[in-house]
Structures are given as C-alpha cells and as structure tokens.
Amino acid sequence: MNQIDGKPEVLYVDDDECYIEIFLLIFKRYFNIAHAGDGHSALELLKTQKFDAVITDYEMPEINGIELLRIIKRDFPHIPVIFYTGQGNEEIAREAFVLGASDYFTKEITAFIHKEKLVNAVRRSLEVVIAEKSKKTSEENLRKNQGMLRNILDTIPQSVFWKDRNSVYLGCNQIFAETVGLENPHDIVGKSDFELPWPRVEAEAYRSDDAYVILNRTPKMHIIEQVQKADGTRIWADTSKMPLMDRQGNVYGVLGIYEDITHRRRTEWELHIKNLAYEMALSAKSTANAHGIVNTVNPAFLAIWGYSSADEVLGKPIWNFFQNRDECETIISVLDREGIWEGEYIARKKDGSNFVAHGLITVLRDDNGELVGYQSSVLDISERRRVEKALKESETRYKSFIEHSSEGIYRIEIVPPVPIDLPHSEIVDRINNNAVVAEVNEALSCMYGLRPEDMLGRPATDFAPDYGKRASLVLESSNFRVSGEETRDMDKDGNPVWLIESFHGEIKDHCLERIWGVQRNITERKKMEEVLLAKNQELNDFAFKVSHDLKSPINIIQGYAGAIKEQPELFDKYFDKIIDNTGRLVLFIDRLLKLSKAGQSLGEKKTVDPEKMIRDIFSLLKPRDIPTELVINTPLPGIVGDPESLNQLFANLIENSIKYRDPRKEKLVIHIDHTLEKGRTRILFKDNGCGLEEKYLDRIFNPGFALDKNKGTGFGLAIVKKIMEAHGGSIKAKSDGLAKGITFYLDFE
C-alpha cells in the first residue's frame, strides 16, 4: 500500500497491449499500476518491487496464467493473485482457485459499470492477507512462548510438577520425570502419587500437603522431606507448593517445585560437626536443675550474654535468657520426651538486645533415671548467619545466572599458565597441552551430547581439536577479548558442532591462565544452509532441464513451420513431423504437471488390493506385439493408500519396464513379490530388461532424467518417488548391470 496516496500497488500482467491500455485507463484512479507483457517480466518485477496484488491474464506466451500463479504462490505466497481473462472457462477457474487464486473475472468487466467488482476483489484480498499475517504472527509468538517455557522447565535444575484439585498430575519437567522413572514428561499426565515409586505413607503425606494448599488457598514453602527415586535411592528435598488459580481466583490445582539438597545436607552436617568440635571450647556452657533454674555458667556464657559476674545469672530461670518463653518451653518439652535437643533460637542479652544462638542441650539423670536437670552448650552465630546469608545470596545469583542461561558458558583453566611472549606456534601447542575444562553449565554440555560432569577435568582438545589456535586469538586483541567467532567442535559421537563463540582471557604475570567463554549452537542453522544450497542447485538443474526439453520440440516445430512458409510445397512432408513434436511437447507438459501434483493432495485412503490393481494395469498396458509375462509369486497383502495415486505409481513402473525391455531377450518378464521388513510391507518389482549401470541408480528418480530421450520424458520414476513419499514410504532401485534387469524396492507403512 502506497504510504502517500493510500492506493494498493498492483502488478497487471497481459500480453495484449490494448488491454493494458484499457486497464490503465479504467483503474489508475483506484490503483498504482505497474504492468508486464509476459510471465518472465512479471516475475522480474516481483523480485525488485513490492506489490499488494497481482492481476493476470491466462493465455500468455511461455508462462501462462496458471503457471505464473503457481510460481508466485511458491516464491511470493503472501501476494494475492486475481485472474482477469478473456479465455477463461470453469476448468481453468477451478484450477486457479485450487492453486490459491483470490478471485477470477472475465474481461467483460472492463465496462465502467462493473469496475467496482474488481476493485472490491483487490481490497478483499488485501484484507485477507493482512488478517492471515496477523494470525500467523500471533500463532508464531504463542509457539515461541510455549517452546521457551518448556526449554526453561527442562533446563532449570529443580524438579517441577503440577496437579489438578484431585492431586492427579497434569505435567512435569524432564528432571522430575527422570526421578520417578519416566522417559518423557508427557507420561506423567493422569497419574497419581500412588502410581509413582515412593512409599504409600509418603504419597499420602504429599497429597495432604496438596489438600492444605488448595483448601487454604495459600502456599506451603520449604518443606524439608525425603523423596524416593525410581531406582530406590532416597534424597533430601526442599519442596514448595502453591495454588494454581484461574482469572476468577478459583483454585484449579497445585504447582510444586523441589530441589535435591542431599549433598548440601551432607556437607552442612559434616561442616557442622567439624565446627562444633572446634567451637565447643569457646561455647557458653551452663546447667539448670529439674525446675529450669540456672545453677552453673562458664565465663563464655557471661561474655556472650553480656553479664559481669555469675551472681547476676545464677538462680534465674533459663527462659530468662530467651527472647520468647514459649520457644524455651517447646525445647524443654522435646528434652523431656527425647533427652536431647539441638537447634537455633533467639536469645536475649542482659541489655535486652537479641542474638541468634545455636544450642546443644541434653537432660541430666541420676542413677535411677530420674530427671535432675539440664546442661547446654551455646554459641552466638549471629555474625556467621549474616555472612552465610550474604554468601548464599551471592552464590544463588551466580548459580541462577549460570544454570538458567540459554547460552553455553564455560571456564577453561590453563595449568600451568602459558607465557604470552612466546612464539605463536609454541603458545598454541602449550594451550593444547595445558587447557582443561574447569566449569560448564548444562546448556553448554548439551551442545556436545553430555552432562556437565562428563566434561569437567577433561582436556579442552577433546571437544575442540584446534582449541589452542582458537584460544590464542585473545592475544591478538588489546583487551584480550574475541566476539562472534564462528567455530567447529565435535560432540561425544564425533559429529561436528558449529558454534558462535565469544570469550576472553585472563592474564596474570604475563601468562595466559584462564579462558571464560559463552557460545551458542548454530549446527542446525548450518545444516539448513547446506540443505538450502543443495535444494537450490537441484532446482536450478531441474529448471535448466525443463527449459531445454521444452525448447527442443518447440524449436523443431518452428524450424519445420519456417521451412513450410518459405516452401509451401513441403507441407505434406513436414506436417506429420510437426504433429509428432506437438504430441511430444503435450506429453512432456502433461508429465510435468503430473510430477508437480504427485503426492500433493492424496484422496481418501482405502485398503487397496495391489495384486488386482497390478494385473488390471498390466492387461491395459501390455504391448500386443511384444511377448510379455507378469509373474506374481505370492499373494500380496493389502496396502492402505489413495487408489488413484497407487494406480499411477504401478502404471509408471510397468511402463518403465516396457520402455526399457531388452530386445535381445525372447520376452519381457515382470516379477512381483513381497516381504515384511520391520513391520512394513516391502513390494519387490523386478524385470529382466536392459538394466542400468550402478552410477545411474541414484539419479533415475530425479525429474527429467532419462537415458534415452526417445523412450520418455524422464518424469515417470520421479512421480513414483513423490507418490511413495506422500504415503509415508520410500523407494530404491538395484541393478546388477546392463542386460541384467532392474529391481525396485517399495517400502509401505
């Protein structure tokens, strides 16, 4: 749409200059019009200019309106095409609409009284295009968001799950699925906790937590509990659950997330024991009688609580040194029941200030087992808690950044460091020998098909054989940084991994001692580029082939016609040749159209009796003047597919055998057999024809390939291949050489 005058940009294609002049005269007030006199010119304009719509005639030289429509819908699918022709009929109109035409008019519409119909058709087409673009954009954004959410869920190190109001699982992430012994997160849907590997009593406890969250509409955070994995091992988990609500605030389920803290618990406990053994000598010690009255304290107790002498403490109840008496009484009840208590509480000093205390308290009993008092050892851990909190927050931020990054992040240690003033070749060799993987996140390890722990401690050259050359690039930069470097590594199976990488080196004492890097996997992009190049080459080859084979009969016809024009007496001599080449041209175009349509839109699939179908086709195609025999060795199983397409497939194969029979043999014999290969039906189609050299086997299914141009267009087997692929199957050929026939293997689903 022109931004200045608001008119649609329309390309009008017609080989009749009079119609072009009339069209411009009538419609220039409604459209900004560019015009082309043939299909080639129109395609060139479409490549260089932007158009809102194309209005085309049908009957044009070289590329008619239908062919032009097909090309536009392939190369410019967003541009609506309207047919405007004086040679139209219902069949052409039907084909145009099937190929994607927006509307169809005959040229009597040029009357001024009807011009609004065409104007409105263009506007409607533009409205449809705009609506479709908006819909596709919305759908693409939704797919991206859903894919991003799934990637995040499967990337984070925590287990995530969600259930409905009845505690029936609606989904989970990959880590949770692996914990409960499922290969795919989708397998969790519809299951309950009773169907998962944990004991029933624990399953009931999990469901009880779900019910609490749903009924009270409130989260239940940091539930420290044990979880049994599918292999029977048990882990410690820090679980949090929260209600899932719809827009009206109704609870429809529960979302849960837990983190495996087994290692942390073990590490914390071991550290706790070691610290406790060291710090006990400096801890505050005291005893109290059975009524909770303090009767002894050590100097550390006085220093921690801020008292000057024991006289200020002795004789006072122990809850006097707690911030909250209820907390003290809770601890005493545990001691009376279990005999020991260890934990943290808030203590109150002499001046009324508070501190976090860590206490180990046990009961004292006489020889008869009667309770006589309590003894305790207490440490002021306020400063340690503050430092631990700050450190944990810092570590959490760092860990979250590394683990949740979609980019691959790594750290390479160079031990010993490499002096940067050495010759370049020696620097490269030393880096290759000394570089070791020290840290990677999960996103990076996945690029190589490994887990992070599988990479740690291994030489960097295990994954990047030329790592020394790559890492040395940092020394060529003033800030020791390299950005956007395209590199090629190897995964665990030896397959190439293409990456975009940025990294920087840490230099200390003129030595390179460490490399930090970030990389993104672009392997799929590289593969797509290679496929695209191959497809473009294939398309160019095919276009050249089609152009050549179309021009050949046309040039012959033009040659004979020219000769007749110069010498009319040659009419009888050359007329049949012109007819023969016209038929050849029509056959070529017909086969080309069949190739383009083959397998694109299958009809209703039915179970087909291939044996009957083959016999019927053979009876129709069997040449009367050539001895020909059809042998079907075993009854063939039914095939599910489009009967019309399958009929075309077997007809093409039989025609191929007849065309390329071996004239030196008494008769042509076609053998049909079948086998079952991995649950798929394989039909063997074999003849005793002229055979084929091995070098041509990979090319016989290419459109337009024919060893003998006088025997066909080269599209028959290409159509067979497209029909097989449309049915989810495949075809391959085998020949032992010339005069030894050929065998086709047709694998059906």
pLDDT tens digits, residue range 326-377? 999 999 999 889 989 999 999 999 999 999 999 999 999 988 888 999 999 8
Question: Mean pLDDT across the stretch 502-507?
Answer: 90
Whether 335 maps to a domain, the answer reads yes
**CB-neighbour burial class of residue 271 (10 A; exposed 0-12, middle 13-18, buried 19+):** exposed
Whether residue 129 is found in the same domain as residue 14: yes
Q: Which of 490, 521, 552 is the last residue of a domain?
A: 521
With b for 16 or more beta-carbon neighbours within 10 A and e for fewer, the 380-404 pattern comes to bbeeeeeeeeeeeeeeeeeeeebbe
Count of alpha carbons within 13 angstroms of residue 121, beta-carbon side: 21
Q: What tens digit of pLDDT does each residue of 239-262 get? A: 999 999 998 989 999 999 999 998
Compute the distance between CA of residue 187 and CA of residue 180 in angstroms, rounded to an integer. 11
Residues near 80 by beta carbon (within 8 Å), at least 6 away in sequence: 52, 53, 54, 102, 122, 125, 126, 128, 129
Look at residue 111 in the predicted model and tell me its pLDDT.
Answer: 44
- Write out pLDDT tens, residues 565-591: 888 887 777 777 778 767 656 655 665
Q: List the helix and strand counts (H, then E) for the chain.
A: 20, 27
Q: What are phi and psi of 169, to 5 degrees?
A: -65, 135
Per this entry, what is the length of the chain?
A: 749
**Between 497 and 414, where is the model more confident?**
414
What is the per-residue DSSP string for 524-565? HHHHHHHHHHHHHHHHHHHHHHHHHHHHHHHHHHHHHHHHHH
The number of angstroms, rounded, from the C-alpha of 5 to the middle of its chain's C-alpha atoms is 44
297 with 373, same domain: the answer is yes
Residues 533 and 507 in one domain: no
Letter string b/e over residues 343-360, b meaning 16 or more CB atoms within 10 A of that residue's CB: eebebbeeeeeebbbbbb
- DSSP codes, 581-637: HHHHHHHHHHHHHHHHHTTTS----EEE-HHHHHHHHHHHH--SSS-EEEEE-SPPP
Is 389 inside a domain boundary?
no
Asked if residues 141 and 189 have their Cβ atoms less than 8 Å apart, the reply is: no
- Mean pLDDT (the chain) is 84
What is the rounded CA–CA span in Å between residue 602 and residue 721?
14
Q: Quick check: helix, strand or coil at residue 469? A: helix
**Residue 628 confidence (pLDDT):** 92
Query: Do 67 and 186 belong to one domain?
Result: no
Of 503, 521, 539, which residue is a domain's last? 521
Identify whether 695 is part of a domain. yes
CA 55 – CA 81 distance, rounded (Å): 6
Instruction: Map tokens 């057999």 to a residue.
Output: 673
Torsion angle of the four alpha carbons 140, 144, 147, 151, in this order, in degrees rounded to the nearest 10: 170
Checking if the pLDDT of 592 tops 80, the result is no
Residues 630 and 734 placed together within one structural domain of the fold: yes
The DSSP 8-state label assigned to residue 138 in this structure reads H
- Residue 463, both tokens: 């994954």
Question: SS3 for 694-734, per residue?
Answer: HHHCCCCCCCCCCCCHHHCCCCHHHHHHHHHHHCCCEEEEE
- pLDDT computed for residue 279 by the predictor: 41
Q: CA angle, 60 as apex, 56 and 65 as ends, to 5°?
A: 40
Phi, psi for residue 497 in degrees, rounded to 5: -125, 115
Q: What is the pLDDT of residue 491?
A: 79
User: Does residue 323 fall inside a structural domain?
Assistant: yes
User: Does residue 142 form part of some domain?
Assistant: no
Same domain, 709 and 658: yes
How many other CB atoms are there within 10 angstroms of residue 614's CB atom?
23
For residues 97 and 19, membership in a common domain is answered with yes
- Residue 394 inside a domain? The answer is no
**CATH number of the domain where residue 532 is located:** 1.10.287.130
Question: Residue 244 belongs to a domain with what CATH number?
Answer: 3.30.450.20
What is the per-residue pLDDT for 671?
95
Q: How many CB atoms lie within 10 A of CB 544?
A: 11
CA dist 413 and 435 (Å) reads 6
Peptide bond before residue 416 is cis, with ω within 30 degrees of 0: yes
d(CA 290, CA 372): 5
Q: Is 21 in the same domain as 130? A: yes
Is the Cβ–Cβ distance between 599 and 722 less than 8 Å? yes
Last residue in a domain, options 521, 551, 579 = 521
Using pLDDT thresholds of 50, 70 and 90, give the confidence band for residue 277: very low
For the chain, what is the domain count?
6
Q: Residues 78, 165: one domain?
A: no
688-729 confidence digits (pLDDT tens): 998 888 888 888 888 777 777 666 667 788 888 888 888 889
DSSP line for 65-89: HHHHHHHHHHH-TTS-EEEEESS--
Sign of the torsion angle spanned by Cα atoms 685, 691, 694, 695: negative
Only one residue has tokens 């797509």, namely: 528
In a domain, 589, yes or no: yes
Compute the Cα dihedral for 192, 195, 197, 199 and give only its sign: positive
The reported pLDDT for the residue numbered 548 is 47
> Are the CB atoms for 296 and 321 separated by under 8 Å?
no
Are 736 and 622 found together in one domain? yes
The reply to whether 366 and 425 lie within a common domain is no
3-state secondary structure 188-245: HCCCCHHHCCCCHHHHHHHHHHHHHHHHHCCCEEEEEEEEECCCCCEEEEEEEEEEEE
Q: Do the beta carbons of residue 663 and residue 626 sit within 8 Å?
A: no
Residue 60: helix, strand or coil by DSSP? coil
Q: So what's the pLDDT on residue 547?
A: 55
Measured between alpha carbons, how far is 44 from 55 in angstroms, rounded to an integer? 15
Q: Which helix (H) or strand (E) holds 248?
A: none
Q: What are the residue ranges of helices labelled H in 103-199? A: 115-155, 174-179
b/e burial code for range 484-522 (CB count within 10 A of at least 16 → b): eeebebebeeeeebbbbbebbbbeeeeebbbbebbbbbb
Q: Residue 583's pLDDT is what?
A: 67
Who contacts 726 (Cβ-Cβ below 8 Å, separation ≥6)? 598, 599, 600, 602, 642, 645
Asked whether the predicted pLDDT for residue 497 surpasses 50, the reply is yes
684: domain CATH number is 3.30.565.10
Range of the domain at 563: 527-597
> What are the tokens at 95?
């084909």
Percent of the chain with pLDDT over 70: 87
Q: Has residue 482 been placed in a domain?
A: yes
Between CA 319 and CA 292 the distance in angstroms is 8
Gyration radius of the chain's alpha carbons: 41
As beta bridge partners, residue 607 has 640
Residues 43-55: b if buried by 16+ CB within 10 A, e if exposed? bebbeeeebbbbb
How confident is the model at residue 81, as a pLDDT?
92
Buried b (16+ CB within 10 A) or exposed e, 224-248: eeebbeeeeeebbbbbbbebbeeee
644-684 pLDDT, tens per residue? 888 888 988 998 888 889 888 999 999 999 998 777 899 99
**Tokens standing for 653?**
């194969």
Q: How far apart are CA 45 and CA 314, in angstroms?
A: 102
Q: So what's the pLDDT on residue 109?
A: 47
154-191, pLDDT tens digit by residue? 778 889 999 999 999 999 999 999 999 999 999 999 99
Same domain assignment for residues 169 and 225: yes
Beta pairing class for 371-380 and 408-419: unpaired
Question: Sign of torsion, CA 721 722 725 726?
Answer: negative
Task: Give 213-242 pLDDT, tens digit per residue.
Answer: 999 999 999 999 888 988 989 999 999 999
Q: Which of 101-115, 127-141, 303-317, 476-490 has the highest mean pLDDT?
A: 303-317
Token output for 425: 């070749």
Bridge partners for 84 per DSSP: 105
